[in-house]
């Protein structure tokens, strides 16, 4: 620490100078904050202000600095000083804008400003300059698993961007489901007729691309490593196994159709004339090859009437079938009805639907089908039974509200859904897997401590931050694209694959530079573990939302920095606090907590610690300030990387220091989570549910520690929550622990 | 009604839809309805009639020929055009409603004693005779539509209005005896006949005089 030289800069601009006594703050910085140097400036973010700081760094050898000015989210370009540790005290958004400009408020506002400066001084002294992950990988090739429309698109896009690709396909042929189609839904003006799939041309293009290495009849036997240095063993059906080194992976393993044999009430598996959409594509292709019309499968008879049953085994509330909408099948039925109408307008085609879902230009396609005379009937099909040469379809007409039937349908097409091919569900415990009849087969065979495939969100689809960052899965550098991520049609899959490819390229490049990927893209800090203190409790390895931590033979955690997203969840989980980042640790936050000046029990000035997620809650607070939504002067806010990074030691420290209440503001968790780190806020809430015991031990009320789910848009709500909580603390009284620290 | 199977067969063979497309003014639009229900929700008559435009269109697709053509709904339409300006599929709903009414009437399937239908007929006969509407005669025809006693009763109830109209010079009793008409009555008749012929040719009917055909 000998060469640490600290300095504090207090800005008087943006009205700060008029609202608080900056000279007093400068004294706080040197006397209490023990800064070597403290300067006030009229306009710190101006060129002159920035130059003052730079001069001190260059001439005075300042290594650690605190800027008491605007929020850490503002003026990041002006206050960018590479090579020094920097803490920001939020005096503008967090103090003067969040407080009324009145004579009575002046004293508490000043106290707030002083405290934030003390906290900044405490923090910066515990900070080190992040050096960047030393364990970088240099592989820049992309592995694409799956040779359907998504995989082929991904391969081609990567190649066009100048990257090498290895494409592994399980079957002998490329093309996936798209290759099985007679025609696809239109994707160009005027969206009126089915179009050629273009798959033959796409396959040719991929096959002749020098950047793309194709391996068919092959599966992934093992995936080890991290972004930038994945080692993938590929086992080829007849031939020697291969090992490829790649920088990132795209899983585009597509879907399987829902088995119609599971829909006997709709005639599935019972009549040859009841088929699924894939079955009709096959018939249409065969018929086209022979130059004949589509015939009745049972006896080759003429088709005069075709009924399409939408949502077959989908959007099912009973729990027996798929609960979700696959999204593509309404369009597919419209397209297939046109196969008949275009060939012979006299053929009756009836689509029985509950809701017709044709997003985007699908609406034009729908209209085109109506013009061609396809009949659309809103209804719910009750049964399909073989009758005469064909089938009888009984249904409830939902507009006319009556039971109806189509007595002689020659062909009934069930619109079944997409079941994702996502490998094993790593959340199912091994005992249960052992009981399963059909054992799930892994796709990636990851050699990760947490399991062989990517975590799933729901219904077997891979988890990929649905709400904010749709491509980001929970395995850094591995992206899922196409219907394995969510149900989709061809056009969406093409777009999805393109997006995933660009993200994968970004991940490889970041890995090489030793920087974090999304959402702390570019961050050079990474978790450092002091193994000599580790008790092998495994909490970090289990809780890491991204499976970044493996285990060695002695069950010590092994961190894979390139897989890490720098959320700090492991740091929050560690009971012996041996995990830290250079610039964010139990100490940097602990120092801030301890730096707050604690008024005594009789002062009528309670202190409330707010631990706010820096991604949503903290910006919401900043914006509340910008809109002058004032809140209590008794709070002291500390931004955290994620609520998942909150270590219970901070709670204990704060209570012991005499804080009267602790508020934790994090993101929504659950199936529709908004947490940037997916599981962080959820894990935090589990951990905090155990804080009650600590409170009991200290003989404190349960309300002394509370948490809320907030969104970045809660600009009015967050100040309200704070004020309500301040009132609550007022009610239960000051903490009895004051003055003992 | 006996053979349910036969009935259902007819119902979903689309025959009636085709009939409407070919025979009814703007009937070709019916298939373009997407059953959103905006018309039903917009109609001034909304809850008061048996079949909203949305239902009528669905019934056509379901082949409910007698029910559609025998429906009162088309006759109740006030031509307010609310539905038509709102329909997201831009169906000329009002025109279709009138087209259906006229078609039902032509086939003799329209409901008997339907007041608006009766009124329309009386109006048509009245004004095509001389080229102008004789309001007194028309009022009397409408009042006595359901018989002598009910006509007298209606006149009695509305006697004060009649008196008022008379003093305001809005009602001329002499009109009962002499109708004034347009200049070229023959010309008018020829024009109407021509129109009938054109329509009949377009729709493939044998020319027949207008009026009750049942
Ligand atoms: S796309 Fe259409 S058929 Fe498919 S599940 Fe959704 S609503 Fe049902
Ligand atoms: S918990 Fe977060 S910070 Fe820790 S290793 Fe995993 S991703 Fe990295
Ligand atoms: S508003 Fe138009 S599209 Fe909607 S139900 Fe009525 S006629 Fe059909
Ligand atoms: S035009 Fe006729 S059908 Fe349409 S809203 Fe008005 S009354 Fe109803």
Contact A399, A380 (CB under 8 A): no
Lowest-pLDDT choice from A107-116, A276-285, A487-496, B165-174: B165-174
Residue contact A404–B8, C-beta within 8 A: yes
Q: Is the pLDDT of residue B205 over 90?
A: no
B149 and B70 inside one domain: no
| Separation of alpha carbons A278 and A285, rounded Å | 11
| φ and ψ of B126, to 5 deg | -60, -50
**Residue at B212 is within a domain:** no
∠ Cα A108 A110 A116 (to 5°)? 105
Q: How many A×B Cβ pairs under 8 Å?
A: 51
B127 and B96 inside one domain: no
Q: Which CATH class is domain A263-417?
A: alpha beta
| Separation of alpha carbons A210 and A222, rounded Å | 26
CA distance B71 to chain A (A): 14
Which CATH code fits A1-129? Answer: 3.40.50
Q: E strands of A667-736, at which residues?
A: 705-709
pLDDT at res. A279? 97
Binning pLDDT at 50, 70 and 90, where does residue A439 land?
Answer: confident
**Ligand 4 pocket, B46 CB below 6 A?**
no
What chain B residue is nearest to A378 in terms of C-alpha separation?
B35
Lowest-pLDDT choice from A351-360, A544-553, B85-94, B135-144: B135-144
Query: What does the block give as tokens for A219?
Result: 């599966």
Residues of A in contact with B64 (CB under 8 A): 400
Number of domains, chain B: 2
pLDDT, average across residues A14-27: 97
**Residue at B71 is within a domain:** yes
Burial of A634 (0-12, 13-18, 19+ CB in 10 A): buried
Give the ranges where A43-104 is alpha helix by DSSP (H). Answer: 47-55
| Separation of alpha carbons A16 and A112, rounded Å | 13
Contact A224, A234 (CB under 8 A): no
pLDDT tens digit string along A273-291? 999 999 999 999 999 999 9
**Residue at B209 is within a domain:** no
pTM of the model: 0.88
Task: Give the side-chain half-sphere CA count within 13 A for A612.
Answer: 26
CA distance B6 to chain A (A): 9
**Ligand 1 pocket, A427 CB below 6 A?**
no
Query: What does the block give as tokens for A326?
Result: 């696959």
**Ligand 1 pocket, A236 CB below 6 A?**
no
| Separation of alpha carbons A16 and A27, rounded Å | 16
Contact B182, B133 (CB under 8 A): no
Residues of A in contact with B5 (CB under 8 A): 407
pLDDT at res. B178? 83
| Separation of alpha carbons B165 and B180, rounded Å | 19
CA distance A376 to chain B (A): 8
Residues of A in contact with B11 (CB under 8 A): 404
Mutate to test the pocket of ligand 2, among A475, A544, A646, A679 (most ligand atoms within 8 A of CB): A544
Q: Looking at the complex, does the CB of residue A398 fall below 8 Å from at least one CB of chain B?
A: no
Lowest-pLDDT choice from A199-213, A675-689, A711-725: A675-689
Boundary (domain end) residue, out of B89, B111, B133: B111
CA distance B57 to chain A (A): 10
pLDDT at res. B207? 52
Q: Whole domain around residue B30: which residue ranges?
A: 2-111
Q: What is the DSSP letter of A522?
A: T
| Separation of alpha carbons A624 and A180, rounded Å | 55
**Residue at B120 is within a domain:** yes
**Ligand closest in space to the Cα of A676:** 2
The overall average pLDDT reported for chain A is 95
CA distance A193 to chain B (A): 17
pLDDT tens digit string along A347-390? 999 999 999 999 889 999 999 999 999 999 999 999 999 999 99
CA of B165 from ligand 4 middle (Å) equals 31
**Ligand 3 pocket, B74 CB below 6 A?**
no
Tell me how far CA of residue A93 lies from CA of A15, A512, A642, in angstroms: 11, 37, 21
B21 and B76 inside one domain: yes
Query: What does the block give as tokens for A343?
Result: 């060939």
CA of B104 from ligand 3 middle (Å) equals 21
Mutate to test the pocket of ligand 4, among B53, B56, B80 (most ligand atoms within 8 A of CB): B80
| Separation of alpha carbons B68 and B57, rounded Å | 9
The overall average pLDDT reported for chain B is 85
Secondary structure (DSSP) of A216-260: -SEEEEEEES-TT-EEEEEEESSS--EEEEESEEEE---EEEPPG
Does A142-254+421-512 match A263-417 in CATH topology? Answer: yes
Q: Looking at the complex, does the CB of residue B180 fall below 8 Å from at least one CB of chain A?
A: no
Mutate to test the pocket of ligand 2, among A226, A472, A569 (most ligand atoms within 8 A of CB): A569
Query: What does the block give as tokens for A540?
Result: 């970090």
pLDDT at res. B172? 85
Q: Looking at the complex, does the CB of residue B39 fall below 8 Å from at least one CB of chain A?
A: no
What does DSSP say about strands A64-69 and A6-11: parallel, antiparallel, or unpaired? parallel
CATH number at residue B85: 1.10.1060.10
pLDDT, average across residues A153-164: 98
CA of B154 from ligand 4 middle (Å) equals 29
Contact B38, B85 (CB under 8 A): no
Choose among A569, A568, A563: nearest CA to A133. Answer: A563
| Separation of alpha carbons A486 and A326, rounded Å | 8
CA distance A405 to chain B (A): 7
pLDDT at res. B169? 87
Mutate to test the interface with A, among B31, B56, B88 (most CBs of A within 10 A): B31
Q: Is the pLDDT of residue B1 over 50?
A: no
Nearest CA to ligand 4 atom 5: B43
List all residues 6 or more positions away from A250 whose beta carbon is below 8 Å from its beta carbon.
A142, A143, A144, A145, A151, A154, A478, A479, A480, A481, A497, A500, A501, A504
B74 and B137 inside one domain: no
Contact B81, B94 (CB under 8 A): yes
pLDDT at res. A615? 95
Q: E strands of A320-371, at which residues?
A: 348-353
CA distance A369 to chain B (A): 9
B104 and B37 inside one domain: yes
pLDDT tens digit string along A622-662? 999 999 999 999 999 999 999 999 999 999 999 999 999 99
- DSSP-assigned beta bridge partners for residue A39: A9
B107 and B11 inside one domain: yes
Residues of B in contact with A407 (CB under 8 A): 5, 8-9, 12
Residue contact A408–B9, C-beta within 8 A: yes
Boundary (domain end) residue, out of B87, B111, B135: B111
Q: Looking at the complex, does the CB of residue B5 fall below 8 Å from at least one CB of chain A?
A: yes
- DSSP-assigned beta bridge partners for residue A411: A306
Binning pLDDT at 50, 70 and 90, where does residue A741 land?
Answer: low
Task: Give the side-chain half-sphere CA count within 13 A for B208.
Answer: 13
Contact A337, A353 (CB under 8 A): no
CB count within 10 Å of CB A355 equals: 11
Pick the CATH number of A142-254+421-512 from 3.40.50.300, 3.40.50.620, 3.30.70.3040, 3.50.50.60: 3.50.50.60
Mutate to test the pocket of ligand 3, among B33, B56, B77 (most ligand atoms within 8 A of CB): B33
| Separation of alpha carbons A428 and A439, rounded Å | 12
Residue contact A375–B31, C-beta within 8 A: yes
Q: Looking at the complex, does the CB of residue A192 fall below 8 Å from at least one CB of chain B?
A: no
Q: Which helix (H) or strand (E) holds A86?
A: strand A85-90
pLDDT tens digit string along A460-469? 999 998 888 8
CA of B59 from ligand 4 middle (Å) equals 17
Q: Which helix (H) or strand (E) holds A564?
A: none
Nearest to A399 among B5, B17, B55 (CB): B55
B64 and B35 inside one domain: yes
- DSSP-assigned beta bridge partners for residue A579: A529
- Quick one: how far is CA B164 from the chain centroid? 31
What ipTM was predicted for this assembly?
0.80
**Ligand 4 pocket, B43 CB below 6 A?**
yes
Nearest to A370 among B14, B31, B58 (CB): B31
pLDDT tens digit string along A484-511? 999 999 999 999 999 999 999 999 999 9
Residue contact A378–B35, C-beta within 8 A: yes
Residues of A in contact with B9 (CB under 8 A): 407-408
pLDDT at res. B46? 72
Query: What part of A 278-317 touches B (C-beta under 8 Å)?
Result: 305
Contact A163, A142 (CB under 8 A): yes
**Residue at B190 is within a domain:** no
Q: What percent of chain A has pLDDT over 70?
A: 99
Each domain of chain A, given as residue ranges in start order, spans 1-129, 142-254+421-512, 263-417
Residues of A in contact with B31 (CB under 8 A): 370-371, 373, 375
Q: Is the pLDDT of residue A189 over 70?
A: yes
CA of A564 from ligand 2 middle (Å) equals 5
Q: Is the pLDDT of residue A524 over 80?
A: yes
Q: What percent of chain B has pLDDT over 70?
A: 88
B88 and B141 inside one domain: no
Nearest CA to ligand 3 atom 8: B33
* A578 vs A239, higher pLDDT: A578
* A694 vs A572, higher pLDDT: A572
Atom of ligand 2 nearest to the CA of A560: 5
pLDDT at res. B90? 96
């Amino acid at each position: 620490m000998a060469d640490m030289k600290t300095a504090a800069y207090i800005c008087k601009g943006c009205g700060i100078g008029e609202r608080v006594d900056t000279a007093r703050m400068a004294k706080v910085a040197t006397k209490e904050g023990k800064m070597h140097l403290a300067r006030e400036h009229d306009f710190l973010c101006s060129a002159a202000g920035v130059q003052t700081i730079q001069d001190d760094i260059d001439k005075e050898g300042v290594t650690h600095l605190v800027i008491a000015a605007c929020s850490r989210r503002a003026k990041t370009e002006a206050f960018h000083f590479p090579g020094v540790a920097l803490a920001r005290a939020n005096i503008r958004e967090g103090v003067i804008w969040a407080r009324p400009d009145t004579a009575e408020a002046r004293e508490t506002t000043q106290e707030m400003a002083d405290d934030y400066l003390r906290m900044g001084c405490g923090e910066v002294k515990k900070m080190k300059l992040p050096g960047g992950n030393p364990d970088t990988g240099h592989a820049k090739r992309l592995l694409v698993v799956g040779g359907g429309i998504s995989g082929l698109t991904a391969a081609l896009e990567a190649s066009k961007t100048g990257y090498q690709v290895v494409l592994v396909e399980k079957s002998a042929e490329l093309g996936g489901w798209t290759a099985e189609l007679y025609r696809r839904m239109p994707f160009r003006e005027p969206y009126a007729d089915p179009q050629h799939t273009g798959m033959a041309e796409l396959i040719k293009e991929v096959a002749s691309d020098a950047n793309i290495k194709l391996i068919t009849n092959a599966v992934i036997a093992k995936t080890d490593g991290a972004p930038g240095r994945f080692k993938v063993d590929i086992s080829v059906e007849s031939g020697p196994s291969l090992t490829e080194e790649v920088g990132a992976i795209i899983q585009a393993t597509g879907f399987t159709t829902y088995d119609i044999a599971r829909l006997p009430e709709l005639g599935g598996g019972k009549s040859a004339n009841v088929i699924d959409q894939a079955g009709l594509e096959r018939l249409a292709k065969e018929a086209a090859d022979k130059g004949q019309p589509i015939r009745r499968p049972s006896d080759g008879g003429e088709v005069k009437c075709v009924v399409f049953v939408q949502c077959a085994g989908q959007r099912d509330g009973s729990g027996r079938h798929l609960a979700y909408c696959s999204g593509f099948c309404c369009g597919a039925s419209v397209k297939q009805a046109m196969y008949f109408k275009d060939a012979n307008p006299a053929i009756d085609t009836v689509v029985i639907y509950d809701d017709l879902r044709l997003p985007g230009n699908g609406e034009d396609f729908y209209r085109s089908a109506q013009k061609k005379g396809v009949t659309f009937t809103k209804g719910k099909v009750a049964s399909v039974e073989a009758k005469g040469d064909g089938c009888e379809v009984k249904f409830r007409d939902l507009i006319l509200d009556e039971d109806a039937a189509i007595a002689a349908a020659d062909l009934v097409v069930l619109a079944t859904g997409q079941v994702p091919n996502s490998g094993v569900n790593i959340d199912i415990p091994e005992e249960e897997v052992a009981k399963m009849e059909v054992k799930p087969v892994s796709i990636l065979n990851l050699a990760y401590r947490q399991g062989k495939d990517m975590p799933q969100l729901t219904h077997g689809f891979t988890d990929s931050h649905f709400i904010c960052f749709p491509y980001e899965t929970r395995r850094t550098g591995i992206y899922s694209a196409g219907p394995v991520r969510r149900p989709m049609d061809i056009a969406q899959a093409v777009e999805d694959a393109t997006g995933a490819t660009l993200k994968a390229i970004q991940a490889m490049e970041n890995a090489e530079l030793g920087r974090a990927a999304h959402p702390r893209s570019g961050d050079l800090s990474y978790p450092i573990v002091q193994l000599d203190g580790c008790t092998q409790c495994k909490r970090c390895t289990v809780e890491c939302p991204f499976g970044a931590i493996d285990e060695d033979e002695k069950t010590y955690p092994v961190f894979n920095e390139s897989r890490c997203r720098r959320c700090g969840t492991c740091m929050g989980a560690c009971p012996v606090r041996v995990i830290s980042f250079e610039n964010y640790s139990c100490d940097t936050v602990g120092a801030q907590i301890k730096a707050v000046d604690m008024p005594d029990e009789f002062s009528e000035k309670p202190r409330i610690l707010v631990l706010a997620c820096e991604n949503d809650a903290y910006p919401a607070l900043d914006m509340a300030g910008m809109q002058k939504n004032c809140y209590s002067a008794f709070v002291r806010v500390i931004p955290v990387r994620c609520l998942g990074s909150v270590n219970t030691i901070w709670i204990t420290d704060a209570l012991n220091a005499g804080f009267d209440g602790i508020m934790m503001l994090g993101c929504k968790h659950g199936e529709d989570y908004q947490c940037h780190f997916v599981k962080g806020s959820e894990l935090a809430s589990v951990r905090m549910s155990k804080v009650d015991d600590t409170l009991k031990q200290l003989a404190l009320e349960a309300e002394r520690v509370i948490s809320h789910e907030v969104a970045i848009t809660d600009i009015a709500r967050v100040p309200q929550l704070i004020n309500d909580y301040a009132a609550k603390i007022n009610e239960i009284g000051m903490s009895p622990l004051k003055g003992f620290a | 009604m006996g053979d349910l199977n036969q009935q259902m067969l007819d119902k979903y063979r689309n025959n009636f839809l085709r009939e409407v497309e070919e025979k009814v003014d703007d009937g070709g639009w019916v298939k373009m309805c997407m059953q959103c229900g905006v018309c039903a929700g917009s109609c001034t008559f909304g809850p008061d009639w048996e079949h909203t435009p949305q239902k009528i269109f669905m019934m056509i697709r379901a082949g409910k020929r007698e029910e559609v053509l025998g429906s009162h709904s088309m006759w109740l339409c006030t031509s307010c055009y609310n539905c038509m300006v709102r329909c997201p599929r831009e169906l000329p709903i009002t025109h279709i409603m009138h087209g259906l009414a006229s078609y039902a009437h032509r086939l003799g399937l329209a409901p008997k004693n339907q007041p608006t239908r009766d009124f329309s007929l009386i109006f048509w006969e009245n004004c095509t005779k001389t080229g102008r509407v004789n309001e007194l005669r028309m009022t009397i025809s409408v009042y006595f539509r359901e018989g002598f006693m009910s006509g007298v009763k209606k006149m009695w109830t509305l006697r004060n209005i009649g008196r008022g109209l008379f003093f305001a010079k809005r009602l001329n009793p002499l009109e009962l005896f002499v109708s004034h008409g347009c200049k070229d009555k023959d010309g008018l008749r020829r024009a109407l006949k021509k129109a009938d012929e054109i329509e009949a040719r377009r729709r493939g009917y044998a020319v027949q005089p207008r009026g009750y055909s049942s």
